[in-house]
Structure 1
Amino acid sequence: MADVEFSREGHVAHVRLNRPKSLNAISGEMNQLLHDAWLEINNDPDIWVAILSAEGEKAFCAGADVSGDAEPTSRIAFGGGITGVGGPLLTLKKPLVAAVHGYVLGGGFEMVMCADVMVAASNTQFGMPETKAGIMGESGIMHRAIRQLPYRIAMTMILTGERMPVKDALNFGLVSEVVEPADLMAAAQRWADKLCAASPLAAQAAKAAVLSRLDMPLEVALATRYEPIEAYAFTADRLEGRQAFAEKRKPQWQGR
């Protein structure tokens, strides 16, 4: 079995970390496999949604593998580029659901902060142990945390290395839903089904527009023309959406 498993069910791609004996710490090989998975998801028009999950009971991901023989062989970027750490940023164009449990630490924490929907098991703990462990590498995780959490909460985690329990993550809006561990994958699939019920091209255009102006002033975002949204006006799915509304039926999306 590969350290990163990739599969498809209908329009949903599954990316699963599969190195539980090492707490799914990301090795150089996993880095490459993740990069390849994100590229395939981006490039395949029949993939509309992705679910990121992990094998094992103790940890979703303990971060980068820092053992002596596990140095990455490339600068693709930790997490396959989706985090933009250690290499070029690779933005996932399709909606991403993260299903997390146990320890979600370091680069593993950063990777799921890239998700659009995050479902967490009730035993989840988030953390940035870099300063506590005295191992300080790339700073992407800190930049993401300070943008997704209240300032003092993020700084407390960054500077002390203390972990955040899942109930606090829910209160701060970091996760979308908390479920029991046995229900984690069913909940992730439920969210994926909701996302697949929307027009895939509309969802991708909306995500591209939001991310491209995330750190811009509101007046700049409002004044921007978004090419993916403009291109959507000429798609078969837009016509299908209008016809389905007029005929009072559920639309049958094609992703074209």
Structure 2
Amino acid sequence: MADVEFTREAHVAHVRLNRPKSLNAITQEMDEALFGAWTEINADPDIWVVILSAEGERAFCVGADVSGGAERPSRMALGGGLTGIGGPLVTLRKPMVAAVQGYTLGGGFELALCADVIVAANTTQFGLPETKVGIIGECGVVHRAIRQLPYRIGLTLLMTGERMPAEDAYRYGLINEVVDFAGLDDAARRWAAKITAASPLAVQAAKDAALSRLGAPLEVALATRFEAIENYASSADKLEGRLAFAEKRAPIWTGR
């Protein structure tokens, strides 16, 4: 079995960390495999959504494997560049659902924060332990946590190294749903099905527009012309949406 499994099921890509005995810590080889997965997902028009998950009940991911003395994978940054830690940032154009459980720490927490939807088992513990053990690096989770959590919650999480249970993460709006571990896979698939029921090109255009101007003032975002949205206007799926509405039937999307 590969340490990173990449499979497809209809229009859903499944990326699964598979190193449970090491709490799914990411090695250099896993980092490169993840980069390959994100690259293929971005390039394939028949992939509409991604589910990122991990094997084993104890942990989703505890970050980079430092057992060999390296601080983190170095070629494409932790998570194949998805997090941008220590290397170039890879922007995933397709929506991603992260299914997390157990220890979701450090770079593993960061990897989860890169998702658009997060479902968590009630066993999940989110945390940034770096300061508690006397280290801190150029970690993007510092910046993502303070943006995705209320200011004082995010900052105290960074400063204390304490862990946040799934129920608190849900209360603060960090995650979308908390389920029993046994129902985690079904919950992720349910969210993926909700996304694939919508026009894939419209979803991708909406994600691109929302995230590309996230840090801009509202008036700048409103005045921006978005290429993905303009391209969608002449797509087959745009026409299909109109026809399906007029004919009172469910649309049949092609992603074209």
Tell me the TM-score normalised to structure 1 length: 0.98
Q: 1:60-209 counterparts in 2 under 5 A?
A: 60-68=60-68, 74-209=74-209
1:251 aligns with 2:234: no
Determine if contact 2:119/2:175 at 8 Å carries over to the other structure: yes
Distance 2:5 2:70 in 1: 19
> SS state of the match for residue 174, structure 2?
coil
Letter in 1 for 2:150: P
Determine if contact 1:62/1:107 at 8 Å carries over to the other structure: yes
> SS state of the match for residue 152, structure 2?
helix
Residues matched between the structures, number:
256
Determine if contact 2:107/2:141 at 8 Å carries over to the other structure: yes
Distance 1:64 1:17 in 2: 12
Determine if contact 1:62/1:105 at 8 Å carries over to the other structure: yes
1:45 aligns with 2:45: yes
Q: Alpha-carbon deviation of 1:70?
A: 5.5
Q: Alpha-carbon deviation of 1:138?
A: 2.1
Distance 1:177 1:74 in 2: 33
Determine if contact 2:96/2:116 at 8 Å carries over to the other structure: yes
Distance 1:171 1:233 in 2: 38
Hey, what does 2:239 align to over in structure 1? 239
| Runs of 4+ residues over 4 Å off in structure 1 | 69-73
146-155 or 63-72, which deviates more: 63-72
Determine if contact 1:51/1:99 at 8 Å carries over to the other structure: yes
* 1:91-117 CA distance string (max 9 Å, x none): 100010000000100001001101111
| RMSD (CA atoms) | 1.1
Hey, what does 1:32 align to over in structure 2? 32
> SS state of the match for residue 119, structure 2?
strand
Letter in 1 for 2:244: A
Letter in 1 for 2:17: L
Determine if contact 1:120/1:178 at 8 Å carries over to the other structure: yes
* 1:16-41 CA distance string (max 9 Å, x none): 00000000011111111111111111
Letter in 2 for 1:176: N
Distance 2:107 2:204 in 1: 25
Determine if contact 1:119/1:184 at 8 Å carries over to the other structure: yes
Percent of pairs with identical residues = 71
Distance 1:151 1:70 in 2: 32
Determine if contact 1:29/1:72 at 8 Å carries over to the other structure: no
Distance 1:138 1:43 in 2: 29
Q: Alpha-carbon deviation of 1:189?
A: 0.3
Letter in 1 for 2:23: L
Distance 2:224 2:128 in 1: 35
Give structure 2 stretches of 5+ with no counterpart. Answer: none
Q: Alpha-carbon deviation of 1:69?
A: 5.3
Distance 1:48 1:254 in 2: 10
Determine if contact 2:130/2:136 at 8 Å carries over to the other structure: yes
Q: 1:2-17 counterparts in 2 under 5 A?
A: 2-17=2-17
Determine if contact 1:81/1:89 at 8 Å carries over to the other structure: yes
Letter in 1 for 2:56: G
